[in-house]
């Protein structure tokens, strides 16, 4: 009988090959720039990401042009009247809590980092309102670092594709990191999120037009494999 270690290694190798094939197909399907939060600086992305909690990127993008024209620096956000800031971000929902988080975040940014967004996960997570997911978004999108951002779309696809059996973001991140080459960690977020929005939706996955259906154990329709 094969040892458990040998079986696990064989399974991991198979998963590495499958996720590589999945990313290749998705990269061909979605070759353009990631359609996410719109920003002009790491600081703008930091604020936009805080606003995106329990809110769509589209809704955040609809208010940030006016918001960033009015509030240009961490000081502008930190020392604005709280009620005024809350009113300005009201369309994103949970605006009172988000306004408090933004002001607390900006004050720490000023006091501890000279108003400059730090470039390490550990330092980013010292900012109020910034968890591991937000830190990974900033590292990957603002600074070009390789990081896996686990949001609801990545959680859904990672489970449906059979790579994980958990909703725990940290466990999902760790398991995907184990089977994905580091130079493709950013592709997980960009491609899984895009595919989750367009095809593998939460309410009804559109397996009939999914380019990775033949690689997905959860596909709801039979897809004839392409002839060799």
Q: Catalytic residue, from 57, 98, 133, 187: name it.
A: 133
Residues with Cβ within 8 Å of 144's Cβ and at least 6 positions away in sequence, in order, are: none
Task: Clarify whether 133 is annotated catalytic.
Answer: yes
Task: Clarify whether 24 is annotated catalytic.
Answer: no
Q: Would you state the torsion angle of the CA atoms of residues 162, 165, 171, 177, taken in this order, to the nearest 10 degrees?
A: -10
CA pair distance 84, 156, nearest whole angstrom: 37
CA pair distance 139, 224, nearest whole angstrom: 40
CA pair distance 26, 213, nearest whole angstrom: 11
CA pair distance 10, 17, nearest whole angstrom: 11
3-state secondary structure of 125: coil
Residues with Cβ within 8 Å of 162's Cβ and at least 6 positions away in sequence, in order, are: 216, 217, 218
Q: Catalytic residue, from 24, 88, 151, 198: name it.
A: 151
Residues that are catalytic: 133, 151
């Amino acid at each position: 009988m094969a040892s458990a270690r040998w079986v696990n290694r064989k399974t991991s190798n198979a998963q590495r090959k499958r996720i590589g094939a999945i990313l290749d197909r998705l990269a061909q399907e979605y070759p353009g720039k990631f359609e996410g939060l719109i920003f002009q600086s790491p600081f703008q992305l930091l604020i936009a990401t805080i606003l995106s909690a329990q809110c769509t990127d589209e809704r955040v993008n609809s208010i940030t042009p006016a918001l960033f024209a009015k509030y240009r620096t961490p000081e502008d956000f930190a020392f604005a009247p709280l009620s005024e800031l809350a009113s300005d971000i009201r369309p994103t929902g949970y605006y009172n809590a988000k306004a408090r988080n933004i002001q607390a975040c900006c004050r720490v940014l000023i006091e501890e980092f000279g108003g400059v967004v730090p470039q390490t996960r550990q330092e980013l997570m010292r900012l109020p309102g910034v968890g591991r997911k937000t830190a990974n978004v900033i590292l990957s999108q603002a600074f070009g670092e390789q990081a896996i951002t686990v949001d609801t779309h990545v959680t859904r696809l990672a489970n449906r594709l059979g790579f994980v059996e958990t909703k725990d973001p940290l466990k999902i991140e760790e398991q995907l990191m184990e089977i994905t080459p580091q130079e493709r960690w950013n592709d997980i977020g960009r491609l899984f999120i895009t595919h989750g929005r367009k095809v593998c939706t939460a309410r009804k996955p559109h397996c009939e037009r999914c380019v990775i259906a033949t690689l997905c154990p959860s596909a709801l329709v039979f897809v004839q494999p392409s002839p060799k």
